[in-house]
């Protein structure tokens, strides 16, 4: 089985807060998750391996072309209100198969100190329907994980800690490799 890991953004920072930058952290999480998936015998494909711009269209296309069995996009959140915090995970609207995995991912991360904001369909996202999910979910379970809020002090303390990131990566890899 092969997993496509999609670190959000690249070459354009994405969200920022408390001295943290989304695109660098998303790449760090993707590398760690990939490492732990490979330890469990899975193959991994990355939509970017460094800080470069990658179009949304090419991300899903890569996952489909390389016949991945799961697509995981990794992001960090930001909000105008510094009290917004926690993890949430999106699936394409109506994609129940992926929503179940999304719920297991947020439950696993919430056991490590992040508030569980739950599994949601992308129509509930601030960004509306999410292109990378729409391009992949008919071929494989497709998830977009927002691990925490850079703009929240407590979340940023966790996200900025490499030991937390490592534990979170193990938890995500476990959920993904245990499904079905
Ligand atoms: Zn993002």
Q: How far is the CA of 142 from the centre of ligand 1 (A)?
A: 16
The strand pair at 87-91 and 142-149 is best described as: antiparallel
In the prediction, which pLDDT does 179 show?
A: 62
Which residues constitute the domain of residue 82? Answer: 2-178
Number of domains comprising the chain: 1
In the prediction, which pLDDT does 101 show?
A: 97
CA angle 120, 126, 132 (to 5 degrees): 70
Contact 91, 137 (CB under 8 A): yes
Residues having C-beta closer than 5 Å to ion ligand 1: 8, 14, 75
96-101 LR contacts (CB < 8 Å, sep 24+): 97/141, 98/133, 98/137, 98/141, 98/142, 98/143, 101/70, 101/141, 101/143, 101/175, 101/176, 101/179
- Domain of 75, CATH number, reads 3.40.630.40
- Round the CA-based radius of gyration of the chain to a whole number and report it: 15
Residue 85 CA to its chain's centroid (Å): 16
- HSE value, Cβ hemisphere, 13 Å, CA-based, for 103: 7
In the prediction, which pLDDT does 180 show?
A: 57
Q: How far is the CA of 145 from the centre of ligand 1 (A)?
A: 9
Distances (CA, A) of 53 to 42, 47, 49, 59, 122: 26, 10, 11, 11, 23
Q: How far is the CA of 39 from the centre of ligand 1 (A)?
A: 27
pLDDT tens track, the chain, 180 positions: 999 999 999 987 789 999 999 999 999 999 999 999 999 999 999 999 999 999 999 999 999 999 999 999 999 999 999 999 999 999 999 999 999 999 999 999 999 999 999 999 999 888 778 999 999 999 999 999 999 999 999 999 999 999 999 999 999 999 999 865
In the prediction, which pLDDT does 79 show?
A: 95
pTM of the model: 0.96
Contact 76, 20 (CB under 8 A): yes
In the prediction, which pLDDT does 12 show?
A: 79
Q: How far is the CA of 75 from the centre of ligand 1 (A)?
A: 4
DSSP classification of residue 54: -
Summarised one tens digit per residue, pLDDT across range 54-64 is: 999 999 999 99
In the prediction, which pLDDT does 127 show?
A: 78
């Amino acid at each position: 089985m092969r997993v496509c890991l999609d670190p959000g953004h690249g070459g354009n920072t994405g969200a920022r807060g408390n001295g943290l930058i989304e695109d660098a952290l998303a790449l760090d999480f993707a590398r760690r998750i990939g490492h732990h998936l490979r330890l469990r015998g899975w193959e991994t494909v990355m939509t970017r391996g460094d800080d470069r711009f990658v179009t949304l269209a090419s991300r899903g296309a890569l996952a489909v072309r390389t016949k991945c069995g799961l697509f995981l996009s990794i992001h960090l959140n930001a909000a105008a209100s510094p009290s917004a915090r926690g993890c949430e995970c999106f699936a394409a609207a109506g994609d129940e198969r992926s929503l179940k995995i999304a719920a297991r991912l947020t439950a696993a991360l919430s056991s490590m100190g992040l508030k569980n904001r739950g599994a949601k369909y992308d129509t509930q996202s601030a960004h509306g329907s999410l292109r990378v999910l729409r391009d992949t979910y008919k071929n494989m379970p497709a998830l977009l994980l927002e691990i925490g809020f850079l703009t929240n002090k407590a979340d940023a303390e966790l996200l900025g800690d490499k030991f937390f990131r490592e534990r979170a990566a193990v938890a995500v890899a476990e959920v993904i490799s245990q499904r079905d």
